[in-house]
Structure 1
Amino acid sequence: MTQTRSGQADQPLQSQRPQLIVHAGTHKTASTYIQERLHRNRDLLSSHGVSLQDPLGCKPKPKKLAAELCKRRSKRWKAFFKQQPEGPHRLLSAEQFAVPLTDPNCIRQLEAMADAAGYELHIVIFIRSQLDYINSRYIYSLRRFYHHQTFEQFVDDALQGKLQNEKPKRGKIKRRQDVFDFWNYFQPLLKAKAKGLKVSFLPFRQGGVDPFEQFILTINLSTALPWKPCPQKHYNRSPGTRGVWLARVLSQLLRENNISPKTIGNSSQIILNEERQRRWNDPSFWGYSRKLTKKVMRHFETNNARFAQAAWNCSWDEAFSTTNSATQRRRTAYAPQSIEAEVRMHAAAQRLLDRIKRQQISGTASPLKQLIRMTLGT
């Protein structure tokens, strides 16, 4: 699909064959933001022939449909297709679709179900350059205490196709680990695309364009329409440099105390809340040294060239020409400048650990307390 300078789509969506549009992420490519804007603009979408399967008001929810694919089931899909949409086109958005769409059988199943229901399947996936993507996944996994690796250790694992805390299977689908090697990871979709399946791989923030606008143009709607904006709170916020350092120390303490992050309520907000309370306003974390940047670029260079040719019919650098300033970024990470500063940071991590312990003890004890109260009649 091409776009004009005015932001108009090149072919009106209403004139096309009914489409089932599946926005499948990928992870850390503003999916939450895009979904919130789609939700806020569902009436405008409907007026232009697109029926959004809004997870806040529609069942089955998109992520449940993704899970259904992983389990090789079709009951929820049959219920979905029985619904009477307001427009000819239907839209699903859930990054959980990325997992089944790496399986050729799931792709064929989805395409067959869509075709039987009278729809042309259109899959939309954002691609983020590996430097940005690995850095973002490091922060994401660390703030959820999945590991306590240094950035260098995390990168080494990423280059070997390893991800921390990834379940080996989702339903009946073996979960792929090589998520940063797009040529291999998306090989089933690339093959389906070559056979005629409509697949749009979007370079994330190409030309600095808002990803919601990228998506809208890709489904052949105009960015000039009166799309409602999205509040700042729906942009995924990441910890700054001190927050990342604190998250790693706390994650190590949790491991030493045999506390699983899965048992911690709202774990992803702990470091962010601590930053707010301490009024830290640090720069974004960027873990690469110049040497590590070159290592990552060399590792993916050959397969990136293959992927770009298959996905966009151009070179990788052309696809990311105006957004690849990551190669020139300097490392931005926190390191205590004195023993006193390091002691203070470790003390902060210990206080957070103690708080988590108290919450877990309180949560464990509460049913017993209720039983005692019931027994005593108090």
Structure 2
Amino acid sequence: MSAQPAIERTVVLHVGMHKTASTYIQKRLRKNRGLLRRHGLLMPARRPQDRVLLDALANGRWKPWRRWLNRAETRGCHLLVSHEALSWSLSRTVNLKSQPRGLWLAEKLQAHGWKLKVVGFIRDQESYLNSRYTQLVKRLTVHGDFKSYVTRVMTESTISECDLMTLFGWLVDHVSVETVMIPFGSALDCHGRSIQTRPDPYEQLLAELPLPAKVAKQSRPARSKNQQPGRLGVALARAIGTHLTEQNPKILRKHDKALRAAIETLARQQGWPNQPFDGLDTELRETIRDRYAHSNAEFCRCFWPFVQWDDLFPAQPENVTTAIASDQQQEETRQLTALRDRLIADTVNGG
């Protein structure tokens, strides 16, 4: 394939957000990497290569990016980089300067004859925070209760940031960066049109890439294994994380991956994902929605001017769950404590 003219060369960043099927999208992208390459789109073959670019962005290092541009240019391809942490990283500043990393990258690319396109998937903060919490607890990186986690995210700058204008406000006044924001899980598209069948996020992303339409139909399927461990799995992960943080944090650091795998295996064996974790009650839902209402309205004005936030993401009623009797709670606590001790012992002795 002949090299693209300089004005047409594009770096596409799929920036997440977190918990918008990024793992599934990335698995399917990599499964079809050869197909994409044949149609003029190059991407890193392995996630650690994306991480190198992410770290280079954080440190203002151009060389790793230039290396990938050279590869794409040699092959006559556009370049795609997909990492959910980009949504947060691009909004941070370069080496404590005031310039967002996203603008630093856009200017570097433009100076070398490349355009930048940003594609993001946007989720309402209530469901995002619930899903992100289960992920971080499962990873044994968060040990507190859900309400404490939500309060921290809403009041501090964390990697769970979900204020949309904080994440994407840097794009507003820079028309040289093409931007596409896709409502994730909404019954409407960004123009307010009804969606009859829930779209495949991979196909939604491909529709925004410089590819022929037939590539989506030719793509091989993929399945994501990134499943939440359910209410009891979250409780067990919290119990393990809290216990080891207090008693032996060295074991937690050394065996965290093995412990996470053991929790996920046990959760599947016990069928715990069938009873998902949901920490949202009516009061907390309203608190979260009120906190982000102004930013969400501004985001719509800038990126989705034909639709309102509440139309895309209507307020959801509280999920009515069956109350757990005190004796059942005590029995669950006893069983989870026993499972906690068994998993720690088995993992440490086996590792």
Give the whole-Å Cα distance in 2 for the aligned partners of 1:78 and 1:247: 41
Q: How does 1:113-262 map to 2 (within 5 A)?
A: 113-161=108-156, 163=158, 179-192=161-174, 195-207=175-187, 208-219=198-209, 221=211, 222=213, 225-232=216-223, 234-259=224-249, 261-262=252-253
Letter in 2 for 1:255: T
1:101–1:189: 8 Å Cα contact kept in structure 2? no
Give the whole-Å Cα distance in 2 for the aligned partners of 1:29 and 1:64: 22
Deviations 1:73-114 (A, max 9, x none): 122223222224534322111223334310334223312332
Give the whole-Å Cα distance in 2 for the aligned partners of 1:330 and 1:359: 36
State the Cα distance separating 1:246 from its structure 2 match.
2.4
Q: Which runs of 4+ in 1 moved over 4 A?
A: none
1:250–1:350: 8 Å Cα contact kept in structure 2? no
Is structure 2 residue 344 aligned with structure 1 residue 356? yes
1:138–1:151: 8 Å Cα contact kept in structure 2? yes
Q: How does 1:1-378 map to 2 (within 5 A)?
A: 17-55=8-46, 61-83=49-71, 84-102=73-91, 103=93, 104-161=99-156, 163=158, 179-192=161-174, 195-207=175-187, 208-219=198-209, 221=211, 222=213, 225-232=216-223, 234-259=224-249, 261-266=252-257, 267-317=259-309, 321=312, 324=313, 327-332=316-321, 336-339=324-327, 342-357=330-345, 359-360=347-348, 363=351
Aligned length: 327
Give the whole-Å Cα distance in 1 for the aligned partners of 2:166 and 2:101: 17
Distance 1:355 1:290, change over 3 A: closer
Give the whole-Å Cα distance in 1 for the aligned partners of 2:339 and 2:77: 55
State the Cα distance separating 1:336 from its structure 2 match.
4.8
Identity in percent: 27
State the Cα distance separating 1:342 from its structure 2 match.
2.6
| Secondary structure of 1:95's aligned partner | coil
The structure that has the greater radius of gyration is 1
Tell me how large the CA RMSD over aligned residues is: 2.9
| Secondary structure of 2:121's aligned partner | strand
1:132–1:326: 8 Å Cα contact kept in structure 2? no
Give the whole-Å Cα distance in 1 for the aligned partners of 2:119 and 2:335: 46
Distance 1:295 1:109, change over 3 A: closer
Give the whole-Å Cα distance in 2 for the aligned partners of 1:202 and 1:146: 29
TM-score (structure 1 length as normaliser): 0.76
**Ranges in structure 1 where 5+ consecutive residues have no aligned partner:** 1-12, 167-176, 364-378
| Secondary structure of 2:316's aligned partner | helix
State the Cα distance separating 1:337 from its structure 2 match.
3.0
Deviations 1:336-360 (A, max 9, x none): 5353663354333333334424644
Moved more, 283-292 or 298-307: 283-292
State the Cα distance separating 1:180 from its structure 2 match.
1.6
